[in-house]
Structure 1
Amino acid sequence: MLNIRNAGAEVPAIGKKSRQSTLTQTRAKKKIDRILLTRPGVEAGEKFGFIPGELEEKYAPYIEPFREIFNERLGRSQVDYLIKHKRICAMPIAFMRGRTFKNCWAILDEAQNTTPGQMKLFLTRIGDNCKVIIDGDIEQKDIPTQSGLSDAVSRLKHTRKVGIVEFTVEDVVRSGIVKDIIKAYSS
């Protein structure tokens, strides 16, 4: 996990999927106005092509993992309320140019599927009282180009206000069998 601090801001985590990083991202300490969620619009090997509907409907499958965790932790009715009142909102990386993340948590999941340009775009949105959390597993990269997560870790690892946490298979929380599966695929 990469964790960037800038006037209270924070950023990334790297490691095996199925660990608690997405879950731990949902715990806030400071008063914020909203939680901003984003993921690259990249499918895992399959291409679905055109998805009908408005932007929110098209982006919904990418944000569903966040919603599942929030529902589990806060309850469906509370999550629906927070989404309806724009306290939890989703935004594709493609529409971030010109935005500033203030008084919020900005969470980028599946960051291994960003390009270096997308990662730079995301990181340069950090404003006052913004905590940025970037999560990804380099081994699950689905893009043919260099990963923006790898690039960011390489560039920012010695930056004082950036923290990097690397999870191992022992940090997996999904289930015991997933630990065994990851170990089998790693050998």
Structure 2
Amino acid sequence: MKKTYILDTNVLIHDPLSFTKFEDNVVIIPIAVIEELDTFKNHSDEKGKNVRIVSRKLDELRDFGRLDKGVKTKDGGVIKVLLDGKDTLPGKFTLNQMDNRILSAAYGISKKEKNAVLVTKDINLRLKAEAIGLKAEDYESGKVNIDELYSGIASVNAPSLFIDSLYKEKIAQNPLDEKVPNEFLIIHSSEDSKKTAMARVDPHDPSKIKIISGEHAPWGIKPLNKEQRFAMELLLDENIKLVTLLGTAGTGKTLVSLACGLQKAVDENVYRRLIICRSVIPVGKDIGYLPGTKEEKLATWMGAIYDNLEFIMDRKHQDDAPSKFEYLLQQEKLEIASVTHIRGRSLPKQYMIVDDAQNLTPHEIKTILSRAGDGTKVVVTGDPYQIDNPYLDVASNGLTYIVDRFRGQKIYGHLTFTKTERSELAALVAELM
């Protein structure tokens, strides 16, 4: 049965092509949404860019018919832009709020169309809709099942002879039923609980696993647990072009990424430079209102990056860490930027770290990854349970979206960190709060 979906502004900003993804159903965009989009069109950030995409795509539809009458899609659906009707909301609602105008339009449509649904990423608007008897849903496209999200590590029992052979030959048959390239295995002996081995699935032949031996210490940073050791395997492997690292605060995902990036870009010169970027989710005024240069403005949001870099520099260059840091910036071996500054660039042969990616939408993360030129490695880190973007959640952010979509690709590796190493207090906070 066909449905009528009324889209909120935040859905279009989250996914500029969302109105094309409702198959053979009717999609209605209230005029209040168009007006709200208009207020963002001159913004230079991702929101402004997405708004301009929506405007262009809707304008292109006008070549095929009038939007007020409805334009048919190739899937058999209809897309319409609808003027506000009469105020149909109860008296407690005032129409000087844009959300209430959109709610009023959706409520009016629901009186005419039996299967009308308001689609919004605004939780409070969904609650308002339910209060007046209007069906409302979150925008589900791109959502992942977080309970089934790939962790990058599997634990398996095997005979002691299998483990002995693996240590001797350095390679063995993959004992897992589902063979995922670059997945890590912790193998326990079924006869001796103290006998274990660590291996990685061969990306070129997933039916094989290879032993992990030796230990990396890029820029003096040694792995403190198996997870960090596995992460370094991926971060230092030039054949792996995309790495995602999930974990709560204090698990070391940013620290090991920076150390490995400095090793490959500065010491080994495999990459031209190390670029570190993160999304700027302002609390109060946005970045453009702060005084100073780009670097001085970014320092407000890049505190965690600077803290980790200082820690690493102190390990590698104890006597002149500050001067070494400035030298790397001046020589353009190290660059710190916001996600907004990455957009539109082509980045060949770079080691790029995208930190706090849980605050990015799937569309935004796609835009960033498409910047990667030939020879570039991208590392995406974040904590999907620590989201500052009000329209994203653990299942709909760009970070978990990548993990879900790239699993099984031979140039991709992933790891979920579970052990906090920052301090005993940080570990308790992660566990109890």
Q: What TM-score does the superposition give when structure 2 sets the normalisation length? A: 0.39
CA distance in 1, matches of 2:244, 2:304: 18
1:8–1:129 Cα contact (<8 Å) kept: no
Q: 1:177: which partner in 2? A: 425
Task: Please report the RMSD computed on the Cα atoms of aligned residues, expressed in angstroms.
Answer: 2.3
Distance 1:76 1:143, change over 3 A: same
Residue by residue over 1:93-139, the C-alpha shift from the partner in whole angstroms, topping out at 9 and shown as x without a partner, is 22323322222210011010111121001111122221211100000
Larger Rg: 2
1:14 aligns to 2:246 (yes or no): yes
CA distance in 2, matches of 1:166, 1:20: 11
Q: CA deviation at 1:8?
A: 5.3
Count of residue correspondences: 181
Q: 2:407: which partner in 1? A: 157
CA distance in 1, matches of 2:326, 2:310: 9
Q: CA deviation at 1:158?
A: 2.9
Q: CA deviation at 1:7?
A: 5.9
Structure 1 residues 3-152: aligned runs within 5 Å = 9-26=241-258, 27=260, 28-29=263-264, 30=268, 31-43=270-282, 46-49=283-286, 50-74=289-313, 75-145=321-391, 146-152=396-402
Distance 1:179 1:7, change over 3 A: closer
Q: Which runs of 5+ in 2 are unaligned?
A: 1-150, 153-233, 314-320
* Range that drifts further, 53-62 or 33-42: 53-62
Larger RCO, structures 1/2 (Cα 8 Å, 6+ apart): 1
Q: 2:28: which partner in 1? A: none
2:240–2:410 Cα contact (<8 Å) kept: no
CA distance in 1, matches of 2:428, 2:253: 19
Q: Percent identity?
A: 26
Q: Which runs of 5+ in 1 are unaligned?
A: none
CA distance in 1, matches of 2:251, 2:363: 27
Q: What TM-score does the superposition give when structure 1 sets the normalisation length? A: 0.85
1:113–1:147 Cα contact (<8 Å) kept: yes
Q: CA deviation at 1:152?
A: 1.6
Q: Hey, which bits of structure 1, 4+ residues long, moved more than 4 A? A: 1-8
Give the letter aligned to residue 348 of structure 2: K
